[in-house]
Amino acid sequence: MENPKTVFEAIQYRRSVRIYDANKPIQTAIVKKCLEHAALAPNSSNMQLWEFYHITSKDSIAKIAPFCFNQNAAKTAQQLVIFVTRKDLWKERAKANLKFIEKNFGENNAKANQTKREKTVRNYYGKIIPFAYGDFLGIFGFLKFMMVTIIGFFKPIYRQVLKSDMRIVAHKTCALAAENFMISMAAEGYDTCPMEGLDTLRVKNLVGLPFGAEINMIVSCGIRDPKGVYGERFRIPFQEIYKEV
C-alpha cells in the first residue's frame, strides 16, 4: 500500500471508476476505517441521521448488482457501501445529543446554575429539534409552514419545516458522509463510484432496511482497471460557476 495522499492529492486522484481490477482485492479493515472517517462528516445539528451498510460478500454483491441495473461499477466491485438516511431516528439521536450535553455540563443541572450556552443547547435538542422534525400525516408540518411564513414577514426565520424539507436535510447530510468516505478511500489509493441509478426498494428489501430508512446512494469500491475511468475529467470552467458577492 502506498503512502496516504494529502487531501488535495486525494481529491485530484478520485474519479468515478466504472470497472475494477478483479485481481486486486481491497482490505475490509481499510474500507471500515474510511467509513469511520465518513462518520466524522459535518451534518445538520449533529443529528447524524445516517447508517452505513458495508457489503463484503461476493454473493451479496452479485444479488445487488442487478438492482443497480448491472452497472459495471456494481458488477466488478470488490465491496459496496450502502449509505442510508434514518430521519425516523431523530428522537433517538436528539436524546443521544442531550446525553452528551449532560456528560459535559452535568446531569439534571438546575436551570439557575446553567450557563447561557448550556441553556441554549438543551433548548435546541429539547424543543427546537422536536419542533423541526415532529409531524403527523403532514398536518403539523403544514401548520408549522404557515406559522414560519407569517413570522417571516417580520424577521428572518428558518423556513424548511415541512416533512419533505427534513427529508432533504437528511439526504444532504448523508451525502456529506459519502463524500468524506470517497476522499478517504482515494487517500488510501482505493477507488470508488457513487451510484444513484438503482432500484432502491429492492435493495432496501434485500438488505432488510426498516420502513423509515431510505437509500441515499450506493458506493462501489475496488482498485481501478485502466479501462475503468471513462476518459478525461470534464468540469464546467470555474469562472462560470464562481460568483464573488
* Residue 147 belongs to some domain of the structure: no
Domain that holds residue 68: 7-87+171-225
For residue 66, name the pLDDT band (cuts at 50, 70, 90).
Answer: very high
* Residue 106 belongs to some domain of the structure: no
CATH of the domain at 211: 3.40.109.10
Distances (CA, A) of 180 to 31, 111, 177, 188: 12, 38, 5, 13
Domain count, the chain: 1
Residue 1 has pLDDT above 60, yes or no: no
Q: What is the mean pLDDT of residues 129-133?
A: 91
CA torsion sign for 71, 224, 207, 167 is: negative
* Residue 107 belongs to some domain of the structure: no
Q: How far apart are CA 35 and CA 6, in angstroms?
A: 18
pLDDT digits (tens, 9 = 90+) for 183-219: 999 999 999 999 999 999 999 999 999 999 999 999 9
Q: How far apart are CA 86 and CA 160, in angstroms?
A: 18
Which of 79-83, 120-124, 132-136, 176-180 is predicted least confidently? Answer: 132-136
* Residue 119 belongs to some domain of the structure: no
* Residue 1 belongs to some domain of the structure: no
Q: What is the mean pLDDT of residues 14-20?
A: 98
Share of the chain above pLDDT 90, in %: 80
Q: So what's the pLDDT on residue 109?
A: 76
* Residue 141 belongs to some domain of the structure: no
Task: Check residues 210 and 138 and name the one with the higher pLDDT.
Answer: 210
Q: So what's the pLDDT on residue 184?
A: 98
Task: Check residues 142 and 57 and name the one with the higher pLDDT.
Answer: 57
* Residue 120 belongs to some domain of the structure: no
In this prediction the pTM is 0.92
pLDDT digits (tens, 9 = 90+) for 89-125: 999 999 999 999 988 888 777 777 888 888 999 999 9
* Residue 205 belongs to some domain of the structure: yes
Output the average pLDDT for the chain. 94
